[in-house]
A and B are shown apart, each in its own frame.
Chain A
Amino acid sequence: GQNIDQPTEMTATEGAIVQINCTYQTSGFNGLFWYQQHAGEAPTFLSYNVLDGLEEKGRFSSFLSRSKGYSYLLLKELQMKDSASYLCAVSGSGGYNKLIFGAGTRLAVHP
């Protein structure tokens, strides 16, 4: 079957660093995506990894290990506005057009 696992909830302190893990088992692999979703709003694209390694984009970085079926999203210098759900999604054998999403990790940033 196809499965994407990520923690349900995490908390962190403003200014700190937090790592959100995602493990996946899918038939085929065409890339892994991270989306941010504030409560009641649409998801917004954060990152895309298709090769192993770390992709850095400002305060956010995403890592992928295809052999381990593992990714993480690293958020640095946390701000209150980073409180949101972070969705891990995999593009499997269906291609980009059929993303399989995890349930999301709800991150709460405290002062």
Chain B
Amino acid sequence: GAGVSQSPSNKVTEKGKDVELRCDPISGHTALYWYRQRLGQGLEFLIYFQGNSAPDKSGLPSDRFSAERTGESVSTLTIQRTQQEDSAVYLCASSLAAAAYEQYFGPGTRLTVT
């Protein structure tokens, strides 16, 4: 596709369940980023991948959060034992390379934990 895609667009889950969010970056982009945006707040950096490795995981809020990337393409963000404070829009972005400053964002996944 032409842009970054994410699925699902919306996810409602019960507290305590695990969820998996998917990101398909722009083809050929080697760098991939995950952000979280709570209602009315700015974007919060979670993790960044260069290729399939994650040099910086410092933004992951707790050990319930994990992410992986395979084939220098698709990435999944997994949240285990979801809590209500995990409710937010999870945005994925990609850039041509780690040194490329322009990040292209996907439409996000709106996660609601009930």
User: Which residues of A line the B interface, CB within 8 A?
Assistant: 4, 31, 33, 41-45, 48, 87, 89, 91, 94-104
Q: Does B102 contact A (CB under 8 A)?
A: yes
Supposing A4-B42, A87-B42, A104-B42 touch, asked if A97 and B98 sit within 8 A by C-beta, the answer is: yes
Q: Does B12 contact A (CB under 8 A)?
A: no
Q: How many A-B residue pairs have CB under 8 A?
A: 57
User: Number of B residues contacting the other chain (C-beta, 8 Å)?
Assistant: 29
Measured CA separation A54–B106 after assembly (Å): 29
From A4, A44, A96, A104, give the contact of B99 (CB < 8 A).
Answer: A96
User: Which residues of B line the A interface, CB within 8 A?
Assistant: 4, 31, 33, 35, 40-45, 48, 50, 55-56, 58-59, 91, 95, 98-108
B52 to chain A, nearest CB (A): 15
B107 with A96: CB separation less than 8 A? no
From B44, B45, B99, B106, give the contact of A42 (CB < 8 A).
Answer: B106
Residues of B within 8 A of A42 (CB): 4, 91, 105-108
